Amino acid sequence: MKLWKKKNVLEFGLIVVVLLIGLSSFIFISIHEREPGYELLPLLPIFYVLAASFVLIRSLVYDFKMFNFVFTIISGLRYVILPFFLVYADYYGGRSPVSPTARSYDLALKLMLYELIVVTIVILILDGIRKKKVKRLQPKTIQRSPSIFIYTVFSIVAVVAVAVVPGALQSVSFLVPTERIVGVLKTIPLSSALALYMFIIMKQVITILLMWFFYQKHKVSGKQYFVYLAALAMVINIGIFAGTNRSDLLICASASLAVFRILFPSDFKKIAFLVVAGVGAVIVLIASIRQIASVSGDASKLIDFTDTMQVYLGGPYNVAMAIEMKNMFPEASHWSVLLYDIFRPMIGINIFIKDLPIDYSVIYYNERYFFKDHVTQILPMIGQGNLYFGYLFAPLIPISVTSLAYYLQAKMERIGSIEIIYFLTLSVSRIGFFMGQNTMNMVNDMSYNLVLFLLIYFINRRIVFRQKQRRYLNYD
């Protein structure tokens, strides 16, 4: 009863916060003039307030899931904060030399509202299904794999690989990023990229094993310093990163904190506060060295900030671009392009199909954006859905990735392996960003985080099984 009341208070408090921020954004947008095509902009914060108040917050408070946590925050930024800054900065444009038409802006806002409604309904349905299944299942005890032999072998191979392959560690930073890592990932050879890939998987596996070891020691001895050692291992894991992708750092931090929360729930809040503050500082440092061209020519930090939000959250300008891309390049909606969008970014498969005479949809998107070969802008997922399935079925891809996130969440809970929990949390966290991403981003990131790890995980499990089987036969 006490826990139920605590959750009710938390739910009420979050709803009040969302109402205050959402309604403030709505009022501010409504009382200011907007460019033609942006007439529906005030509806974005209102629809989010309704979705969050009746579905998203309840889904998060009563059954915490990392996907829902990330999605609720990202969609709040997209539907409440971004519209406010568009009006406050009086910035409705973007980087293209030819802006979308007012009709395209209007359709973009309608698609965004449609997307939020559909995804919210899907979450409501999936929560109902999940609730029925949870009642029938006993909670799974969290365990580590009974053997770490293959993990050890893989770690040795990864260390040797990064030691002997030239340039493998060139893009890696520890806590403080430097200018030498900017753009390196785009130019390193395949052998260096593979060695780096193995190293990144290795450092995460070792971190989880260390955190589990310290958890077992703390459980037996009760000594607090084991908690701090586990926290130190987590910080090192987060602090070792490749390239300058800020979302990768956030996702690694989310998965690491999720594991720490499972192992050390009573110490989670104070450690999480320090980790979040540290990650925020590193993100600021990364932003300072990336040196992305300023859309305002450094004349307005406000406009530059708004433009960055527009790009990474899939704002109205970018969705409008996607609508016009479909009209400009009808061939982009061919089924072969959709399949290429799905399979070309997949690690392993991409080696065999990379030379096919097919372009990504994002190539067409950037052609509409810049009218030249300059692929830097992210095609929003609802725009990708509209490209292949039209306005009515545009949310099919968002529905699919939301369902996938729930499937992965259920899978990690049924397996109960601390390693699986960590690596699947990486994937569901990434999926939470889907409104500003597309299938290419999702598939590449999921295959990067899962393919190699799952391979060594199941080999490790299989070898343990054979050893047990051999002992059983010898006993007979």
Residue 473, pLDDT above cutoff 70: no
Task: Work out the number of other CB atoms within 10 angstroms of the CB of residue 166.
Answer: 11
Residue 139, pLDDT above cutoff 70: no
Mean of pLDDT values over 145-158: 89
Among the ranges given (66-75, 198-207, 222-231, 373-382), the one the predictor scored with the smallest mean pLDDT: 373-382
194 pLDDT band (50/70/90 cuts)? confident
Q: Are 230 and 207 in contact (CB under 8 A)?
A: no
Q: Tell me the percentage of the chain whose pLDDT exceeds 90.
A: 53
pLDDT at position 7 is 80
Q: Which amino acid is at 358?
A: I
Q: Write the pLDDT tens digit of every residue in 377-387.
A: 889 999 999 99
Q: Tell me the percentage of the chain whose pLDDT exceeds 70.
A: 89
Q: Are 144 and 417 in contact (CB under 8 A)?
A: yes
Long-range contact set of residues 342-351: C-beta below 8 Å, sequence gap at least 24: 342/439, 342/443, 343/443, 344/440, 345/439, 345/440, 345/441, 345/443, 345/444, 345/447, 346/443, 346/444, 346/447, 347/197, 347/444, 347/447, 347/448, 347/451, 347/452, 348/447, 348/451
278 pLDDT band (50/70/90 cuts)? confident
Q: Retrieve residue 387's tokens.
A: 């490209």
Task: Work out the number of other CB atoms within 10 angstroms of the CB of residue 354.
Answer: 8
Task: Work out the number of other CB atoms within 10 angstroms of the CB of residue 454.
Answer: 14
> In this predicted model, which residue has the larger pLDDT, 472 or 458?
458
Residue 446, pLDDT above cutoff 60: yes
pLDDT at position 244 is 67
Mean of pLDDT values over 329-339: 92
CA-to-CA dists, residue 37 to 28, 40, 92, 316, 365, angstroms:
18, 8, 10, 10, 21
Mean of pLDDT values over 117-131: 94
Q: Hunting for tokens 């089987």 — which residue is that? A: 469
Q: Which amino acid is at 15?
A: I
Q: Write the pLDDT tens digit of every residue in 296-313.
A: 556 678 998 899 899 889
What is the model's pTM?
A: 0.89
Residue 352, pLDDT above cutoff 80: no
Query: Cα angle at 216 between 214 and 217, to 5 degrees?
Result: 65
> In this predicted model, which residue has the larger pLDDT, 352 or 65?
65
461 pLDDT band (50/70/90 cuts)? confident
pLDDT at position 476 is 36
Residue 145, pLDDT above cutoff 80: yes
Among the ranges given (81-95, 144-158, 202-216), the one the predictor scored with the smallest mean pLDDT: 144-158
pLDDT at position 181 is 56
pLDDT at position 144 is 86
Q: Are 248 and 429 in contact (CB under 8 A)?
A: no
Q: Write the pLDDT tens digit of every residue in 38-77.
A: 999 999 999 999 999 999 999 998 888 899 999 999 999 9
Longest CA–CA separation in the chain, Å: 84
pLDDT at position 165 is 82
Which parts of 231-388 are beta strand (E)? 240-242
Q: Retrieve residue 395's tokens.
A: 């949310």
pLDDT at position 468 is 47
Q: Which amino acid is at 13?
A: G
CA gap 116, 110 in Å, rounded? 10
Averaged confidence pLDDT in the chain? 86
